[in-house]
Amino acid sequence: MKKWLLILLLFAGLGLKAQQRPQYSQYLLNSYLLNPALSGIENYTDVKVGYRQQWAGLQDAPKTAFVSAHWALGNEYLWANALSFQTNGNDPRSRSYTQNYTASPAHHGVGFVAVSDKAGQLSTTTFDISYAYHLQLNNQLNLSLGVAGGISRVAIDINALVLENPQDPALNNTANGRLLPDLSVGAWLYGANFFTGLSVQQVLPQKLSFSGDEKYYTGKQVPHVFLNSGYKFYLAEDLNFTPSLLFKYVQNVPLSVDVNVKMGFKDRIWVGAGYRKQDALNMMAGFNINHLFNLSYSYDFTTSTLNQASKGSHEIVLGLLLNNVYKVVCPQRQW
């Protein structure tokens, strides 16, 4: 029996609890993937398209592709404060920006995210629509509350399964896929130079089995909890340094901890590094090309026992800043 088939049967039929959401190394640049409260946080329509190859060189290793977009509703996104620039292309993240920062007015935000994740013979496709309301707590502080809902399709490629026993009873009356409801909630507290967020994905636990036999109905989707926070320091007028932490909790699975640092110069170019406990070291870099495009790449060096077979993980993300009326080059609230 293939090793990935064994993993699949454990996950879907025997009730193993594990991280069921995709892994991302560049979460700092697109926390919207983890938290719907970021819907409409920017002064423009923020679009991201990304692809991740996990554990390159390992047969049937996870591959993830996603597209996300979110924007503010109405004209409130044109708030007249430190985000409104007198000339095109001013650096929105210079030290003077934080000194003159004022919180955005209360406003609504919406968005969507579509994710396709495949590992071995198991694939998951999720589509969610999000909504958030951004409260103005004071002149320099906002709190956003968000929710996202949609559907998730979990499927198995039966024709790709190789069995020692073709009559395995766990596959009697097997269905190719299951449609399940999906729900996420989150909160995001942010100011000029810091953020803290808490979110829960897969809020609604769902039974998960591909067999028609009820005795194999022990697998299920479980909630995933994310807590992340970061703070931007200025080493010089045009040089900043942002350390951040991400904690991921899934029931009956060891707590996952990501530690990251990111250094930016004039918010045109940036480099970063991170460590994921008992999993990987990663290196990242990005370039804000102009007021429409930005591009980033990360590479993970596997530190777990999988490094004997894995050649590391690759992740590339293309960003678009649509309806960018102030022609800013750097994402203002994506760190």
Low-confidence ranges of the chain (pLDDT < 70): 1-19, 75-100, 158-176, 209-219, 332-335
| Contact present, 193 and 333 (Cβ < 8 Å) | no
For 165, phi and psi rounded to 5 degrees? -125, 100
Q: Residue 215 is encoded by which pair of tokens?
A: 């005795």
**Which H or E run contains 8?**
helix 3-13
Q: Residue 207 is encoded by which pair of tokens?
A: 């039974």
Q: What is the rounded distance in angstroms from the CA atom of residue 121 to the CA atom of residue 4?
A: 7
pLDDT of residue 133: 96
| Contact present, 241 and 232 (Cβ < 8 Å) | yes
Q: What is the rounded distance in angstroms from the CA atom of residue 222 to the CA atom of residue 21?
A: 10
Tokens 């999720």 belong to residue? 126
**Which H or E run contains 165?**
none
pLDDT of residue 217: 55
Domain boundaries along the sequence of the chain? 3-322
Residue 312: C-alpha distances to residues 26, 28, 51, 61 (Å): 15, 20, 14, 11
pLDDT digits (tens, 9 = 90+) for 187-220: 999 998 899 999 999 998 877 766 655 555 556 7
- Amino acid (1-letter code) at residue 222: V
| Contact present, 182 and 151 (Cβ < 8 Å) | yes
pLDDT of residue 1: 38
pLDDT of residue 305: 78
Q: What is the rounded distance in angstroms from the CA atom of residue 209 to the CA atom of residue 154?
A: 10
| Contact present, 296 and 335 (Cβ < 8 Å) | no
Quick one: 253 exposed, middle or buried, by C-beta within 10 A (0-12, 13-18, 19+)?
middle
Task: Give the pairing type, strands 206-207 and 107-119.
Answer: unpaired
Task: Give the pairing type, strands 177-190 and 206-207.
Answer: unpaired
pLDDT digits (tens, 9 = 90+) for 295-311: 999 999 988 877 777 78
Query: Virtual CA dihedral for 24, 29, 35, 37, nearest 10 degrees?
Result: -170
pLDDT of residue 58: 79
Task: Give the pTM.
Answer: 0.84
pLDDT of residue 302: 87
Q: Residue 238 is encoded by which pair of tokens?
A: 């045009």
Task: Give the pairing type, strands 141-156 and 177-190.
Answer: antiparallel
Residue 162, classed as helix, strand or coil, is coil
pLDDT of residue 3: 43
CATH number of 3-322: 2.40.160.40
Q: Residue 105 is encoded by which pair of tokens?
A: 């007015």
